[in-house]
Amino acid sequence: MSTKFYTLLTDIGAAKLANATALGVPLKITQMAVGDGGGTLPTPSAQQTKLVGEKRRAALNQLYIDPQNASQIIAEQVIPENEGGWWIREVGLFDESGALIAVGNCAESYKPLLAEGSGRTQTVRMILITSSTDNITLKIDPSIVLATRKYADDKADEAKNYTDAQLKGHVEASDPHAQYLRKNANLSDISDKDKARANLALKSAALRDVGKNSGNVMEVGAFGVGSTTGDNIAAPDNNDLKTGFYFGAGTVVGLEDMSSTLSILQMGSYSGWRGQLILSDAKDRLYYRTESGGKFKKTVAVYSENNKPKASDVGALDRTDFPIGIPLPWPSSTAPSGWLKCNGAPFDKTKYPALASAYPSGNLPDLRGEFIRGWDDGRGVDSGRGMLSTQGYGMPKLAGNFQSYDIGGYEGASGIFSANKFSGYIAAVNGEQGYGTDIRVSMDSSTVTPEANEVRPRNIAFNYIVRAA
């Protein structure tokens, strides 16, 4: 009986495999397709470039060498239960460029669709016999393939066996971390101690045993270290001090009076630079000063929570720079601390004596809804008024005129006046009454200025306040 079901390389597949072998590059098989053969069992042909009746093409789940036969390559694809509704009579393998590498037929098998009442996951396996498997590589996307139970179990066993072997070897090793120093060896296990000392920049003193005799160690109190008392900085020593700690200062040029309880650190260098850090225990202040031209400069205080700068120190405007009693526009209904609102209310003259000097009556002016006007002071623009006096409403005189002539129908009006004509009898002239044109004259100031219940300029409302202390 002749072979009915078989698989073969296509001409394209054979050429690509030969080229991969010659160049030493892998042939990457990535996809498998199944088809129904167009309704009948097809006969595979090396000249094929596609399946007769392709129904599904997807990524491979596995491509591996048969452990029982090194010349056989096994390709697998899992078709999930939600795909189907067709017969499987042919199978094809494709590389990453989409070329048909191998084609085969198989015993007819119907892949049902879940909606048809019978769903199953079906694995399609294709065996390809080749003289060399070295240049065939599996290339899959694990995010889109469906693993078989056997494949998952094999991979799990493989990972477990590897982990067990590694852990067993680690535990049984006499020194599982030979690349690290052992802490209980106290650096004795360093293989190259000379190199270690060089890397740490340790000089020859690192190899010597330093004794406790005179000349080997610094005495207590030397340079003021370790002593409860120390030398004081005196005037002659101002610019000729050695590096060290000092505990007081006499009358020293450039050194502010900071009480006698001081801790001073003098620092120097080979280039002649000198500097001092000065801690005033009594004032809880820190100062420093540097040398210039062989003499120390003026002492500089370091600002801190206990030594806050004044506004004048940093060129700022202090709140006390505003004179007590001066009205100040404030954009809030509540006055800040130390300020009072100008609302006509009385204030405590004993509590605010400086404010009482500005307002002897003990009452602040009521500036709510008011405009402030400069005092005339003899200029003659607003004469006859005293300081803090009030002034009521007022407005310039409004004037206008109108004229009318009965003859010719001429009339006119200007300013706040307007004229309207109407016909009727006119008053008697020389004892006679006749018919003519009357003129009604009316007055409306809103034709000149916007109408309001008071005379005022354009304005923006602020809350006037004064500094009380």
pLDDT at 405 over 60: no
Residues 131 and 256 in one domain: no
Structural domain contains residue 345: no
42 assigned to some structural domain: yes
30 and 124 share a domain?
yes
| Digit-coded pLDDT (tens) for 144-155 | 344 455 656 666
Domain presence at residue 344: no
Q: How many CB atoms lie within 10 A of CB 291?
A: 16
Q: Which two tokens stand for residue 430?
A: 């020389």
Q: Is 391 helix (H, G, I), strand (E, B) or coil?
A: coil
Using CA atoms, how far apart are residues 168 and 393, in angstroms rounded to an integer? 105
Q: Are 247 and 119 within one domain?
A: no
User: Is pLDDT at 396 greater than 90 in this prediction?
Assistant: no
Give residue-wise pLDDT tens across range 344-394. Answer: 999 999 999 999 999 999 999 999 999 888 888 889 988 888 888 888 877
Same domain? For 32 and 134 the reply is yes
Is 120 a member of any domain? yes
For 126, the 3-state DSSP assignment is strand
Same domain, 54 and 141: yes
- Same domain membership, residue 141 and residue 17: yes
> What is 368-390 written as a DSSP string?
TT-------TTSSSSTT--TT--
Claim to verify: residue 128 and residue 22 sit in the same structural domain: yes
Q: What is the pLDDT of residue 319?
A: 64
Place of tokens 């066993």: 157
The domain boundary, picked from 101, 123, 145, lies at 145
Domain boundary among 97, 121, 145: 145
Is 435 within a domain? Answer: yes
Q: How many domains does the chain have?
A: 3
Statement to judge: residues 13 and 127 lie in one domain:
yes
Quote the pTM value.
0.34
Do 135 and 246 fall into the same domain?
no
Lowest mean pLDDT among 122-131, 147-156, 275-284: 147-156
- DSSP summary character for residue 404: E
**Sequence-ordered list of residues with C-beta below 8 angstroms from that of 155, at least 6 positions apart, any chain:** 147
Asked whether residue 314 is domain-assigned, the answer is no
Q: Which residues pair with 368 in a beta bridge?
A: none
Maximum Cα–Cα distance across the chain: 155
Residue 99: partners with Cβ closer than 8 Å, 6 or more residues away: 12, 13, 16, 49
If one compares 198 and 436, the residue with the highest pLDDT of the two is: 198
- Domain boundaries, position 419: 402-447
Euclidean distance between CA atoms 389 and 371, whole angstroms:
12
DSSP H helices, 114-254, are 149-172, 193-199
Give the number of other CB atoms < 10 A from CB of residue 65. Answer: 14
Residues 216, 237: Cα–Cα separation, whole Å: 29
Contacts of 272 (CB under 8 A, 6+ apart): 291
Tell me whether residue 97 is in a domain: yes
* Phi, psi of 292, deg, nearest 5: -145, 125
User: Would you say 136 and 60 are in contact if contact means Cβ atoms under 8 Å apart?
Assistant: no
pLDDT tens digits for 184-195? 777 777 777 778
Q: What is the DSSP letter of 334?
A: S
Which residue, 113, 145, 177, sits at the end of a domain? 145
Domain membership of residue 205 (yes or no) is no
**Do 113 and 21 fall into the same domain?**
yes
pLDDT at 145: 43
- pLDDT, one tens digit per residue, over 286-319 is 777 777 766 777 777 888 887 788 877 777 766 6
